[in-house]
Amino acid sequence: MTPRRLALIPGLLVLLVAIGCTGGSAAIPTVASLPTVTPTPLPVTPTVTPPPTWTPAPQRVLSCGEVIAATARNVPTLCAGLAPGEACYISPRVEVILRPVTGQPVFSSPGDRILQTLFSQIRTFPYESATNSWGMALLSIATRPGIRPDQAVGLLLYGDATVVDIGGGNGFFQNMVVLTGLPDPYCTAGPLPAVILQTPPGTTSDHLINGVLVRLQGTLLIRAPARAAMVLALLSGQAEVSTADGGIEMPAGTQVFTALGGASGFEPVGPLTLQPLSEENRVALPLAALPRAVAVSLPVQQTPQPVQATEIRFVRPPTRTPIPTATPLVPFVGTPPGGVYLTFSGKRLEPGTTATGTVPAGGSDSWVFTPRGLAPAAVDSFEVTALGDWDPILTIESATWGVYVPEYDSMADRVERYRASLAGSGGDWRITIRDADGGGGTYTIRYICLGACTNEPQEGG
């Protein structure tokens, strides 16, 4: 067999096998006859990418000290261009007692201005945690007619501070009564309530402050807490202070202390004592609110230099003023009258407590307490809040000393506060609440001792 024939044998065998498997008659399929398979498309779900979420950074709540500092920094803008004889409302709350005027000028929001001739008294209030606000106001005092704004004397009051003009319409807010509160228990980081008086550079200005004549060239801080004493702290410059009994010269970095009393409770009744400027009268001051920049002097020890006494004419406060005109509550020293410590009967109120009471229509409600504040560094403090639309009025009286303060009404609203240095008197005191309009209602009364306090009842208490 030839090689070519041998090569055809494998191909024939393959063909025979294929024919036998298909019955011998099937045709070999071609590529064109194969079925076409169309794949079923899978459902496509669109992918939605959510937008990025942005969570704002939490806003930090400012502390009361930061609120006060920020308020002071806003004053140059808020009270820009303040004219001599005007007052500027800086921060809630500020209230004025208007003189008889036609219409009610708007003075209730930051930036509002009012002429000093329209009001006899201005008051700022302490820090309020609910609104995170603090009272502050600025006066530009015209010491003579026709002066420019840069020649006016600045008067800044802040915290629990009251200034009453008693000059009788002449030289507005140059003859004045100043009353300030005690350290605010709700804002220990803030300054003590005070009034700051500042003269223009090189200018000397005379002011009668609680019966003390002050001849000032510089910046003076004034505090008169609890109607018992006054401190005049000279932050910068120089000053002379005098009463009818004599006077002393004050260098910067010193302060003068004097007791207050008399028929009005705001007349000097003790000597003028020169002291180094205390740290509490230097720290946290809102100096940015003053018309002119000031660097507070360091405390200095100085021998008092006497100055000639000046004739003092003290004008009584107006009769219609929230400042009481009863016998002053000065620190008590010594044995009570007759050597007897007397007591009151009735509901007793202890320091650090809040109680609830009811004033009947046309009547009153009373509480008995024993003073715990060690005067003059501390006071007994009461806050009465009417639970309804009525105005509480307080009466405070001593069983031992016979001191009686009738119808104390320093705030014409639902809240009434009273603070005074009562410790050392011995015996009991009584505080009575009634409605100014003769109606009544329920109330809360909060009693705390501020400052150096004793936990032991006094003898006979």
- The rounded distance, in Å, linking the Cα atoms of 183 and 255 is 18
The pLDDT score that the predictor gives to residue 330 is: 43
Cα–Cα distance for residue pair 366/379, rounded to 1 Å: 20
Tokens in use for 233? 């702290």
Would residue 185 count as lying in a domain?
yes
Average pLDDT score over residue span 368-395: 83
Residue 384 to residue 41: CA distance in whole angstroms: 81
Residue 6 three-state SS: helix
List, in sequence order, every residue forming a beta bridge with 291; answer none if it has no partner: none
Q: Whole-angstrom Cα distance, residue 206 to residue 228?
A: 24
Tokens representing residue 239 in the block: 């000053």
Query: Using one digit for the tens of pLDDT, what is the confidence trace for 146-200?
Result: 889 999 999 999 998 999 888 765 567 889 989 888 777 778 888 999 999 999 9
Name the pLDDT band for 323 (thresholds 50, 70, 90). Answer: very low
Of 268, 290, 307, which residue sits at a domain end? 307
Tell me which amino acid residue 96 is. Answer: V
CB atoms within 10 A of CB 315: 16
Confirm whether 115 is domain-assigned.
Answer: yes
Centre a 10 Å sphere on the Cβ of residue 201 and count the other Cβ atoms it contains.
Answer: 10
pLDDT at 206: 92
Indicate if 255 and 381 belong to the same structural domain.
no
pTM, to two decimals: 0.61
- Say if residue 293 is in the same domain as residue 349: no
Residue 240: pLDDT above 50? yes
Read off the pLDDT of residues 360-374 as tens digits, 9 standing for 90 and up. 988 899 999 988 766
Tell me which amino acid residue 282 is: R
Same domain, 293 and 372: no
Residue 432 lies in a domain: yes
- In sequence order, what E strands does 188-271 have? 194-198, 205-209, 212-223, 229-243, 246-251, 254-261, 267-268
Instruction: Look at the chain and report how many structural domains it folds into.
Output: 2
Assess whether 138 and 72 both reside in one domain: yes
Domain that holds residue 392: 337-450
* Coil/strand/helix, residue 295: coil
Whether residue 35 is contained in a domain is answered as: no
Q: Where are the beta strands (DSSP E) in 51-131?
A: 86-91, 94-98, 113-115, 119-124
> Do 414 and 276 sit in the same domain of this protein?
no
